[in-house]
Amino acid sequence: MLGDYEIKKIDQSVVYEMISMMIIEQDLPFSFVEHRRFKELLQYLHPDVKVPSRCVATMNVNNLYEFEKKKMKCMLSKVPSRISLTFDVWTSCTSEEELKVIVPAVNKIRESIKYVKGLEGRMQVFKTCVAKVGGIHTKMGLRLDVITRWNSTFLMLESALIYQRAFCSLAFDDRSYSSCPTNEEWERGQKISSYSTSNLYFMQVWKIECLLLQNLSNEDELIRTMAIDMKTKFDKYWSDYNNVLSFGCILDSHCKIKLLKYCYSNLDPISCQAKLKVVEHELYILYNEYVQMYSKETRSNAGLSQDEDVSQMGKSQLDTYLEEANLSNKYHPNLDVLQYWKDNQAQFLDLSLLASDILSIKITTMTFESAFSIGLRVLNKY
């Protein structure tokens, strides 16, 4: 006891864990724990604190990693549906290379966030603008991208877009603020920060292959040589379109088998039917797996019997879906494919679960070295 105060006992394991989290979250070197000023700070806060050595800090971080990995595995094992994970070795530096066409817009958004967060007074003015325009959910604050985190630029854009109207209001109220993006730049930021789902995958890769085939006979020798070289690389990475993601095209009710047939026949009419049979066969195999995995649960929840998956004509849900007419782009130009399957879940119990898993796959860059990355999500002018 010291007067009316009691010195709190230190839990050394908690100290080690907090130091490990600090090293991980701030991307600090392990040698940080041996810095003289850091040791002095901890000793000042509590004389009984034991500062780990570099080796101990390394071991603690590894132990924390293993613990979190086990916890993540446990969480994933409880997920009722399948999940898709995308990963790569990007940092923010290399992802900016993919964003180079819209660098002016990204830079303006970055500078806008820096300007607002630079001084407390500016932040207060910005909060006033947020309140003035109204309708902005402020739960997500403004974020700056970090050089060591590959997805931080996209998170920065995502957060800034929420406050777009507030930034425009700030530009009107604060003459010192000169980095407000134009409406066109905001639109570009919106497009680059959005993710496309797997139903768009097949068409984008098919368009690339068609373009390459056209230029194999280009009159310009330079372009023809480039096309030949790129087609060689394309064949290495993309010649066998991932059938699982081709399913995404079929499960888009705008497309189905009809679009696949059109694409395959344009590329190679001779192998068209063989490719279609392979894709359709594998889709039925996957569908039957879902019927086996989820049929009992989905039917009990819906109050149906085991025999009601197959209609009186002996057709499965997948048969029925494929035989129905495609939805017209004219009458359904902005169809949300995930919402479509949610709305039709009662009719397609098992198939809707399969569609949900396939269409939830987000399309991102596989490797930054690849000449045929579709990492910009949507192939548009940006």
Rounded mean pLDDT of 53-67?
Answer: 92
**Number of domains composing the chain:** 3
Residue 364 in domain: no
Is 87's pLDDT higher than 70?
no
- Cβ atoms within 10 Å of 161's Cβ, excluding its own: 15
Is 32's pLDDT higher than 70?
yes
Is 138's pLDDT higher than 50?
yes
Q: Which domain holds residue 277?
A: 198-359
Q: How confident is the model at residue 374 (pLDDT cuts 50, 70, 90)?
A: very low
Residues 309 and 221 in one domain: yes
pLDDT of residue 98: 44
Last residue of one domain, picked from the residues 50, 77, 104 = 77
Residues 136 and 44 in one domain: no
152: Cβ–Cβ under 8 A, 6 or more apart, which residues? 92, 143, 144, 145, 146
- Cβ atoms within 10 Å of 157's Cβ, excluding its own: 25
pLDDT of residue 64: 93
Is 96's pLDDT higher than 50?
no
- Average pLDDT of the chain is 78
> pTM, whole model, 2 decimals?
0.48
pLDDT tens, residue by residue, 236-267: 766 555 677 788 888 888 888 888 888 888 77
pLDDT of residue 378: 40
Contact present, 295 and 284 (Cβ < 8 Å): no
Residue 101 in domain: yes
Q: Which residue in 62, 56, 67 sits closest to 15, CA to CA? A: 56
Residues 350 and 205 in one domain: yes
Rounded mean pLDDT of 307-326?
Answer: 73
| 368 burial level (CB within 10 Å; 0-12, 13-18, 19+) | middle
Residues 134 and 48 in one domain: no
Residues 270 and 156 in one domain: no
The one-letter amino acid at 249 = C
Residues 177 and 293 in one domain: no
Gap between the Cα atoms of 245 and 198, Å rounded = 6
pLDDT of residue 68: 92
- Structure tokens, 295: 């049929």
Is 113's pLDDT higher than 90?
yes
Is 88's pLDDT higher than 70?
no
Is 60's pLDDT higher than 60?
yes
Residues 251 and 162 in one domain: no
Residue 381 in domain: no
Residue 185 in domain: yes
Residue 370 in domain: no
Residue 265 in domain: yes
Q: Identify the weakest region by mean pLDDT among 74-83, 92-101, 255-264.
A: 92-101
Last residue of one domain, picked from the residues 160, 193, 226 = 193
Residues 121 and 44 in one domain: no
Rounded mean pLDDT of 2-7?
Answer: 55
Residue 7 in domain: no
Residues 148 and 276 in one domain: no
Residues 181 and 203 in one domain: no
pLDDT of residue 171: 92
Which has more pLDDT, 320 or 246? Answer: 320
Last residue of one domain, picked from the residues 28, 44, 77 = 77
Rounded mean pLDDT of 16-39?
Answer: 90
Residues 152 and 223 in one domain: no
Residue 82 in domain: no
- Cβ atoms within 10 Å of 174's Cβ, excluding its own: 16
Gap between the Cα atoms of 302 and 338, Å rounded = 20
Residues 177 and 246 in one domain: no
Q: How confident is the model at residue 21 (pLDDT cuts 50, 70, 90)?
A: very high
Chain-centroid distance of CA 323 in Å reads 32
